[in-house]
Amino acid sequence: MRRLRNVKIVATLGPSSSDYATIRALFEAGADVFRLNMSHGTHDEQRARYDIIRQIEADTGRPIGVLADLQGPKLRVGTFANGFEDLAEGQKFRFDLDPAEGNANRVCLPHPEIFAALEVGTTLLINDGKIRMKVDACGADFADCTVTTPGTISNRKGVNVPDVVLPLAALSEKDRADLEFACGLGVDWLALSFVQRPADVLEARELAKGRVAILAKIEKPAAEKAFEEILKVADGIMVARGDLGVELPVEAVPPIQKRLVRKCRAAAKPVIVATQMLESMIESPMPTRAEVSDVATAIYEGADAVMLSAESAAGKYPVEAVKTMDAVARSVESDPTYRDIIVASRVIERKTIADGMVAAAREIAEATEIAAITCYTQSGNSVALVCREKPNVPIIALSPLQPTLRKLCLYWGVHGVQGEVVDRFKQAVIDAARAARDAGFADETKQIVVIAGVPFNVAGSTNILRVASCDERLLSLTDPE
């Protein structure tokens, strides 16, 4: 099932997409990676979805990536005696640790760590920023505020504190349990919510013990400020524009998105652009023109993947949403301007032998009639470097390791093929040519570029490149010398 595009599609599973038929339809429509949102559903429900994904993988013979998204430390107010209160502009309001039900003047905020970090003048955002307050006075167990943006506050609404780095543990007890559960399932990526500092990523990595790739969600101003350091320790990035747009002015989000995508490309690490991409398709079978332009913008920027959240998890038209993303991607990538933008924004990194090898592969592909660049890989590192080059031909990842192929489902332009363990480069070339022909990337008249490392089966040893024919004489060799 060859995709006719390079950007990948991540689809969240949920109540609208929990049975075999729907998940299979999402995959056939274009979903490359499925997201399990650990904020919703039980472990048994998530395990059932995971098992269906792996069944579809076995039935279709194609690797499928799975991303488990941890909830992160959610900050919420307590409850109100009336269920809600209407707050007026200029009104005084107090948050405290008293568990008694709230009223028009106060409510419990059961997070002493917030009070420890507050200062006079700090902004508090309630209910996704619909209500804004300024702190007038604060102590270890209270904060007296003035309402600057009025609205209705109700039971257990979320609280954001954009001005400070909160002394919160990166992973709640629920997150730790969910992390262990997800790693036990065998997911390929683990997304961390509300990352504030590199240490948050390192804590999750220590708990994961190498069982999963770690993806940091950038949704707080502190994470955007510390992005360079976070990127160094993460395996991938998600630009989570929902909470980022709550804690920052909405007009700041587009330039941040562009900067983060470009930095991820330079680092050869995959980046997902997420949140509200086709929001109207939760209720409508057709997206708005602005939503289509939003998806297109992320693709023009060179993002590795675009993501559906509620559209595929809880919406009325999950399959149509994936089909829409697929159609937009194919339209954008067929636009000559797309290649112009991708080439103009390419970041040159030439520090290692592997960097030079993949750059040479891309230049050969652009200068001659090359059908595909094929990488024989153990870890996927060489494939990531090829993805950074954004070549104008398909990238085939050949690996004997199924977990590597599943992880690479998130990377731009990669078509994964399970191969045999080989110990000679000539056999790797034959396997690569056969894979290119079987997948429809080449015929007997075409040539491919093959990249590998000698000695074989050693991660990070990329050091050899060959231009190979796909004709029958090569494929007929069974024991090449």
Answer for the pair 187, 179: CB distance below 8 angstroms, yes or no: no
Instruction: Determine what percent of the chain is predicted with pLDDT higher than 90.
Output: 80
Answer for the pair 70, 423: CB distance below 8 angstroms, yes or no: no
| Position 340 in a domain | no
Helix (H) or strand (E) run with residue 33 in it: strand 33-37
65 and 181, same domain (yes or no):
yes
Give me the mean pLDDT over the 313-319 stretch: 97
In the chain, the number of structural domains is 3
The catalytic residue among 3, 5, 8, 35 is 35
What pLDDT does 168 receive? 82
212 and 231, same domain (yes or no):
yes
Q: What pairs with residue 271 in β-bridges?
A: 237
Place of tokens 């110990």: 423
Q: What is the pLDDT of residues 122-148, one digit of tens each?
A: 999 998 889 999 999 999 999 999 999
| Position 346 in a domain | no
398 and 328, same domain (yes or no):
no
| Position 363 in a domain | yes
What pLDDT does 241 receive? 93
Q: Is the pLDDT of residue 481 over 70?
A: no
The domain in which residue 423 lies consists of 353-475
The pair of three-digit structure tokens given for residue 239, joined into one six-digit string: 């630009």
35 labelled catalytic? yes
Answer for the pair 130, 149: CB distance below 8 angstroms, yes or no: yes
316 labelled catalytic? no
C-beta pairs of 239-245 under 8 Å, 24+ apart in sequence: 239/271, 239/272, 239/273, 239/274, 239/303, 240/193, 240/274, 240/275, 241/273, 241/274, 241/275, 241/276, 242/128, 242/274, 242/275, 242/276, 243/160, 243/194, 243/219, 244/218, 244/219, 244/220, 245/275
β-bridge pairing 159-160 and 92-96: unpaired
pLDDT-derived band at 457 (thresholds 50, 70, 90) equals low
Pick from 263, 253, 261, 307: nearest CA to 69: 307
304 and 428, same domain (yes or no):
no
275 and 382, same domain (yes or no):
no
| Position 294 in a domain | yes
Domain stops at, among 116, 137, 160: 160
280 and 201, same domain (yes or no):
yes
246 and 285, same domain (yes or no):
yes
| Position 268 in a domain | yes
β-bridge pairing 462-469 and 65-69: unpaired
| Position 78 in a domain | no
Residue 422: CATH number of its domain: 3.40.1380.20
Answer for the pair 124, 138: CB distance below 8 angstroms, yes or no: no
The pair of three-digit structure tokens given for residue 471, joined into one six-digit string: 């004709």
What pLDDT does 183 receive? 98
Rounded-to-integer distance, Cα 479 and Cα 46, Å = 45
The catalytic residue among 217, 220, 241, 390 is 217
Rounded-to-integer distance, Cα 456 and Cα 425, Å = 8
What pLDDT does 177 receive? 97
Residue 278: CATH number of its domain: 3.20.20.60
Domain stops at, among 160, 182, 211: 160
Please name the residue ranges forming H helices in 41-172.
43-60, 112-117
Rounded-to-integer distance, Cα 190 and Cα 208, Å = 9
The catalytic residue among 12, 123, 275, 404 is 275
Q: What pairs with residue 171 in β-bridges?
A: none
284 and 152, same domain (yes or no):
no
Q: What pairs with residue 395 in β-bridges?
A: 373, 414
What pLDDT does 473 receive? 67
pLDDT-derived band at 460 (thresholds 50, 70, 90) equals low
* Geometric angle at alpha carbon 165, from 159 and 166, rounded to 5°: 55
Please name the residue ranges forming H helices in 235-288.
241-247, 253-267
| Position 2 in a domain | no
Alpha carbon dihedral 354, 359, 360, 363, in 10-degree steps, equals 170
Q: What is the pLDDT of residues 183-204, one digit of tens each?
A: 999 999 999 999 999 999 999 9
Give me the mean pLDDT over the 423-430 stretch: 86
The pair of three-digit structure tokens given for residue 235, joined into one six-digit string: 């395996």
69 and 185, same domain (yes or no):
yes
Helix (H) or strand (E) run with residue 22 in it: helix 20-29
Q: What is the pTM of this model?
A: 0.92
Q: What is the pLDDT of residues 43-55, one digit of tens each?
A: 999 999 999 999 9
**What is the torsional sign of CA 199, 270, 273, 228?**
positive
The catalytic residue among 24, 47, 54, 76 is 76
Higher-confidence position of 460 and 424: 424
Residue 148: CATH number of its domain: 2.40.33.10
375 and 438, same domain (yes or no):
yes
Buried b / exposed e over 147-168, threshold 16 CB at 10 Å, is beeebebbeebebbbbbbebeb
106 labelled catalytic? no
415: left (phi over 0), alpha (psi -120 to 50) or beta: beta
Domain stops at, among 160, 184, 208: 160
| Position 245 in a domain | yes
212 and 308, same domain (yes or no):
yes
157 labelled catalytic? no
Report the chain's terminal Cα–Cα distance, integer Å: 33
108 and 198, same domain (yes or no):
no
